[in-house]
Structure 1
Amino acid sequence: MKINAKYFGSLSYDPEDLIYLPDGLFGFESYKNFLPLPFHETTDSLLSFQSTDDETLSFILMNPFRFFPDYSPVLSEKDKKDLNLTCEDDISYYVICVLNESLTDSTVNLKAPLAINVRNRTGKQIILDEPAYSFKHAIPANGRE
């Protein structure tokens, strides 16, 4: 299949590469199919989460553990069931970034990460019941908190 990706231009992809979000993302519930496109081939530190339902829609996702090594999201039993999770090792977490001109002015949403079951490629945005995490958390300048 082909798509005109917001940050990558025209490219081909296999339907098996898609991540399916049955509930969409908060505020974007009608968009269900996304293509994760790494900005660097060798790492998933920063991704474009490109909607295939609307080519103009793409979110910047970050693997939170690079900047927040103590980040420890916990899935509820309902979240595990929704993701059809059978093994905790099958889950990957990403946080939505709001990137501004300066990294010091940029934020990530640690309160509502995207949890993805890598085995069945199903994802869900969850809200963590942890007061230390915020919807607009500053990105540490040195890459570690």
Structure 2
Amino acid sequence: MKLNTKFIGEVEVTEQEILTFEHGLLGLEDEKKFVLLPIDANLPLAVLQSVNKVEIGFVVAYPFVFKKNYSFKISDEDKEQLHIENEEDVITYSIVTLKETFQDSTMNLLAPIVINVKQKCGKQIVLQDSKAYPLRFPMHSLEGSAK
């Protein structure tokens, strides 16, 4: 099916690419269906795009590239909601707040998006230890594997 996106125009997606967020995203609890669209194969960035509303799309980043020690535990409740059986089935992204120059952009490490790629479902999780990671982590401080 053809899907209009907020950032990259019209794309072709299949039903198998649709991810279900049972609880939506923070502030968008009614929006349940998204697709994850790569921006460029060489970049640790993608677009998380609503299937139903073109105006709802987020640039997301693979946080481990920018913060090498980034880690958190997924609660048993979240594991159950995401049907997680193997850690290998899970990928984590952080929502990016784009600024005029990319070096000034930030990403949200406090509320990561966890996706079970095998079960095609996701959830935005607010980390309980709010002091562990900031809401606005500067993306210019490449601490991870992209150095």
TM-aligned CA deviation for residue 8 of structure 1: 1.9
Name the CA distance, whole Å, in 2 between partners of 1:6 and 1:41. Answer: 19
Partner of 1:15: 15
Tell me if 1:91 matches 2:83: no
Partner of 2:35: 35
Name the CA distance, whole Å, in 1 between partners of 2:87 and 2:11. Answer: 32
Name the CA distance, whole Å, in 2 between partners of 1:132 and 1:140. Answer: 19
Query: Which secondary structure does the structure 2 equivalent of 1:94 belong to?
Result: strand
Partner of 1:2: 2
Partner AA of 2:104 in structure 1: D
Question: Which has the larger share of strand?
Answer: 1
Name the TM-score, length of structure 2 as normaliser: 0.90
Q: What pairs with 1:117-136 in structure 2 (closer than 5 Å)?
A: 117-130=116-129, 131-136=131-136
TM-aligned CA deviation for residue 105 of structure 1: 2.5
TM-aligned CA deviation for residue 42 of structure 1: 4.7
State, as a whole percentage, how many aligned pairs show the same letter: 34
Do the aligned partners of 2:107 and 2:138 also contact (CA within 8 Å) in 1? yes
Q: What pairs with 1:74-85 in structure 2 (closer than 5 Å)?
A: 74-85=73-84
Name the CA distance, whole Å, in 2 between partners of 1:91 and 1:129. Answer: 20
Name the CA distance, whole Å, in 1 between partners of 2:4 and 2:139. Answer: 30
> What is the aligned-residue RMSD (CA, Å)?
1.4
Mark the runs of 5 or more structure 1 residues left unpaired by the alignment. none
* Corresponding residue pairs, total: 143
Name the TM-score, length of structure 1 as normaliser: 0.92
Do the aligned partners of 2:104 and 2:140 also contact (CA within 8 Å) in 1? no
Query: Which secondary structure does the structure 2 equivalent of 1:40 belong to?
Result: coil
Partner AA of 1:75 in structure 2: I
Name the CA distance, whole Å, in 2 between partners of 1:97 and 1:10. Answer: 21
Mark the runs of 5 or more structure 2 residues left unpaired by the alignment. none
Partner AA of 2:26 in structure 1: F
TM-aligned CA deviation for residue 29 of structure 1: 0.8
Moved more, 59-68 or 131-140: 131-140
